[in-house]
Amino acid sequence: MKLYFGNMVTTVTTLMIVSLVGFVGYSISNRSNINFWGRRSLFILAYSLVICCFAAARDGLDKTIQYTIDGSCNPGIFSLVSVPNIVGCVGAAIIIIAAIATPIAKSQHMREIWFYVMSGGVMLKIVVMVCSLTACGQQETETMTNTGNSIEQVVTSEDNSELATAEDNNMEQTETKKQNQLQDVKPSYKEFRGVLDEIDSDIQPGTAGNGMNSIKTAAHLLNWGGWNQYDHR
């Protein structure tokens, strides 16, 4: 809706278009009571020219032309060669032709016909412009939605990365703490732990050579016990 009522220019342009459509509709519905069609054609010509100036300011047509010439600014809503601008030129040509033909016409009946032709050119421009603005508004909304989703995904990814980094740091701290604890253990305890690891890895009941491994491990255990007792003395 901001393309129609976003600021003073868009609001005035929208209200003028609505009033022009109302004037054309009233003239057609009350055509049996109208005696001077040339005056109404003149009013539509002047009023539609004013509306075109406001619409050009609303759509940034001057910026589009300047952007096409030297690229020194951002373009307007529509590109210079686009459906709204092309149809607008066609509608303007129809209005000008009807404006030239109206004073030449000798009868009110012919001037009424030219009034309808001029009104058709006006309605063509209005319908195409409204449809184009609506399409631009929907596209802008989708773009904003996609941008918001992308930002949310980036934020989520950053949060996940920070969480993973924190977990890695915690694991490193835990591992460092364990290593420090191992360094603080007495040498005799380290040796005893080595004997236990040897029992766990070498002694496998029911396998060939298990007896010799058991004897060797038992000798290591006795050896550790003897040295440990000697150290305590």
Q: What is the per-residue pLDDT for 158?
A: 61
Same-domain status, 182 and 136? no
Q: Is 95 exposed, middle or buried (0-12, 13-18, 19+ CB in 10 A)?
A: buried
- Residue ranges of the chain whose pLDDT lies below 50: 230, 232-233
Cα–Cα distance for residue pair 122/135, rounded to 1 Å: 20
Q: What is the per-residue pLDDT for 232?
A: 47
Q: What is the CA radius of gyration of the chain?
A: 44
Cα–Cα distance for residue pair 24/28, rounded to 1 Å: 6
Query: Hey, what are 188's tokens?
Result: 């005799």
Q: Which domain holds residue 220?
A: 178-232
Same-domain status, 133 and 182? no
Q: Which of 89, 119, 140 is the last residue of a domain?
A: 140
Q: 148 in a domain, yes or no?
A: no
| Secondary-structure breakdown of the chain: helix, strand, coil percentages, each rounded to the nearest 5 | 85, 0, 15
What is the distance of C-alpha 181 from the center of its chain? 53
Closest C-alpha to 55, from 133, 117, 141, 115: 133
pTM of structure: 0.58
Closest C-alpha to 41, from 33, 52, 32, 49: 49
Closest C-alpha to 102, from 123, 116, 120: 116
Q: 18 in a domain, yes or no?
A: yes
Same-domain status, 59 and 6? yes
Residue 150 zone, left/alpha/beta (φ > 0; ψ -120 to 50; rest): alpha
Number of structural domains, the chain? 2
30-68: b (≥16 Cβ within 10 Å) or e? eeeeeeebeebbeebbeebeebbebbbbbbbbebbebbe
Cα–Cα distance for residue pair 104/125, rounded to 1 Å: 25
Q: What is the per-residue pLDDT for 233?
A: 46
Same-domain status, 89 and 23? yes
Q: What is the per-residue pLDDT for 73?
A: 87
* Cβ proximity of 128 and 83 under 8 Å: yes
Cα–Cα distance for residue pair 96/192, rounded to 1 Å: 106
Phi, psi for residue 28 in degrees, rounded to 5 = -70, -40
pLDDT digits over 175-197, tens only?
766 665 555 555 666 666 676 66
Q: 26 in a domain, yes or no?
A: yes
Same-domain status, 113 and 10? yes
